[in-house]
Structure 1
Amino acid sequence: MTINNPWLVPDWPAPANIHAVTTLRTGGVSTGCYASLNPATHVGDDLNLVAQNRKIIRESLALPAEPVWLQQVHSNIAVDAAKVEPLQQADASYSYAANVVCTVMTADCLPLLVCAEDGSCVAAIHAGWRGLLDGIITNTITAMHSDNLLVWLGPAIGPGCFEVGAEVRAAFIKKSVVFTGAFTQQGECWLADIYHLACVELSVLGIEKIYGGNFCTVTEHERFYSYRRDKETGRMASLIWRT
């Protein structure tokens, strides 16, 4: 099978021992609404095809180990990827160990890939609005125990497509008024900018070196899966590891 670069490589000044990528929806074997590089086992796709897709990802990227797949539950739990049990419930993983592939899957939620400027540690974060509100970014950054971090914001729902209720906006503003600027009123609802929400929290944590954040999974249908657009669909995988 010919693989035509079915992934995004972050444009960021990470050190040479840091490797990071987000897969696209192309280059795999799944069919129908899951076409074609779906690595998710929980969305209704044929598990044999999912296994083949995971093999394609592993071999195409020459991964040093099987990705650490989490059971994502929109929590604020971050775990050490080198110590997790299979399918442990968490929404972020981090690692100081070499050749441990921190991985999250998304299809509108925001994937964040994080590394230390000295290349000593990495993390992958799955951030939907619930996780953002509950502090998944803060919990992960705190667990890394590292200064001078770089963050890449991967493909997520764009600010023109993420409609939320007034209660979601109110919950963020109750947490901090600094989140106000991430919401724009549209009729009786609000449009939320998930990238802005993440950047606000990163700024509070003192992180200024932020990259990416210019995608829209809903409108870029040829490249990305989108749950909000299609409901029944696959997932992209965002992976990061150090050597």
Structure 2
Amino acid sequence: MPANVVMLSTTRRGGVSPAPYDDGMGQGGLNLGTHVGDQPHNVARNRQILREQLPCDPAWLAQVHGTLVADLAKVGPQQVPEADASMTTIAGKVCVVMTADCLPVLFCDAQGTVVAATHAGWRGLAAGVLENTIESMRAAGAGDLMAWMGPAIGAYQFEVGGDVREAFLQGALDDSSVRHVTAAFTAIEHKPGKFLADIYALARHRMLRAGVTQVHGGEYCTVSNSGRFFSFRRDGVTGRQASLIWLK
């Protein structure tokens, strides 16, 4: 990673929010989501704790499981754009996405000129949010791209229906893509029509297909690690962690 690129991934620890937004061990949780039922003053304090580690206020998004990418050069300081990714070429601007099982992906180029953060739930992933992020970065002059996949629901926890598998198969461009998609879904023997999906494998393939060969991360499972991460699939009512990236 270029020396002028900084990444940060929060956990549920180190904040002030009470259960069910706590740290999983009876202490305050670092919930950063304003839309999950936590008291606004708790979220504000948690965001201030995070802000102390950043060069400026992060550019929060109104995430809708879509494919839009916000260019932070065009976003005002009080604006919260409806988008599921953001990118910037401006030093000190902080791209951020929030998750609690969906996949966060942080991007930069090898020259350290462009960074981006993407929220990739299965709907956005199947619809092309990663490809849109990559295209936006290249349009902004990015060179060779690299990516880091943050904490998300693991392959042994992500139970889905056949509709999810079909959505990815419809986006397969050739026989190779069909094979990769098929390999990412494991049928559950005692649950007809149900599969375990590997969101990391699905995202890795789509990035490789788009020409991003340096793809890292993918080792964490939010559902299995209750002491470290918030998980909507596990807990229902819960907080949100954040993944952030910026240029120095």
TM-score (norm 2): 0.90
Match of 1:110 among 103, 118, 122: 103
Structure 2 unaligned regions, length at least 5:
23-28, 173-177
Q: Does 1:152 align with 2:143?
A: no
Match of 1:57 among 37, 50, 67: 50
Residues 5-84 of structure 1 mapped to structure 2, 5 A cutoff: 14-35=1-22, 36-59=29-52, 61=53, 63-84=54-75
Distance, in Å, in 2 between the alignment partners of 1:92 and 1:165 is 26
Shift of 1:83: 1.7
Shift of 1:150: 1.1
Q: How many residues align?
A: 228
Distance, in Å, in 1 between the alignment partners of 2:161 and 2:75 is 35
User: 1:215 aligns to what SS in structure 2?
Assistant: coil
Distance, in Å, in 1 between the alignment partners of 2:205 and 2:232 is 25
- Residue 119 of structure 2 is matched in structure 1 by 126
User: 1:171 aligns to what SS in structure 2?
Assistant: helix
User: Contact (CA 8 Å) 2:17, 2:43: kept in 1 or not?
Assistant: yes
Match of 1:196 among 175, 194, 201: 201
- Residue 183 of structure 2 is matched in structure 1 by 181
Distance, in Å, in 2 between the alignment partners of 1:84 and 1:231 is 32
Shift of 1:82: 2.7
Structure 1 residue ranges, 4+ long, deviating more than 4 angstroms after superposition: none
Distance, in Å, in 2 between the alignment partners of 1:78 and 1:160 is 30
Shift of 1:147: 2.8
User: 1:82 aligns to what SS in structure 2?
Assistant: helix
TM-score (norm 1): 0.92
Post-superposition CA distance 1:151-174 (Å, at most 9, x none): 000000000000010111012112
- Residue 233 of structure 2 is matched in structure 1 by 228
Residues 155-166 of structure 1 mapped to structure 2, 5 A cutoff: 155-166=151-162
Distance, in Å, in 1 between the alignment partners of 2:166 and 2:44 is 42
Distance, in Å, in 2 between the alignment partners of 1:228 and 1:170 is 21
User: 1:65 aligns to what SS in structure 2?
Assistant: coil
Over the matched positions of the two proteins, sequence identity in percent amounts to 51
Structure 1 unaligned regions, length at least 5:
1-13
Distance, in Å, in 2 between the alignment partners of 1:49 and 1:167 is 38
Distance, in Å, in 2 between the alignment partners of 1:83 and 1:64 is 19
Distance, in Å, in 2 between the alignment partners of 1:21 and 1:228 is 23
Post-superposition CA distance 1:48-74 (Å, at most 9, x none): 010000000111x1x111000000000
User: Contact (CA 8 Å) 2:111, 2:143: kept in 1 or not?
Assistant: no
Match of 2:164 among 168, 187, 191: 168
Post-superposition CA distance 1:20-66 (Å, at most 9, x none): 0110000000001111001110111000010000000111x1x1110
| One-letter amino acid of the counterpart of residue 61, structure 2 | L
Q: Does 1:209 align with 2:209?
A: no
Structure 1 residues 84-93 or 194-203, which shifts more? 84-93
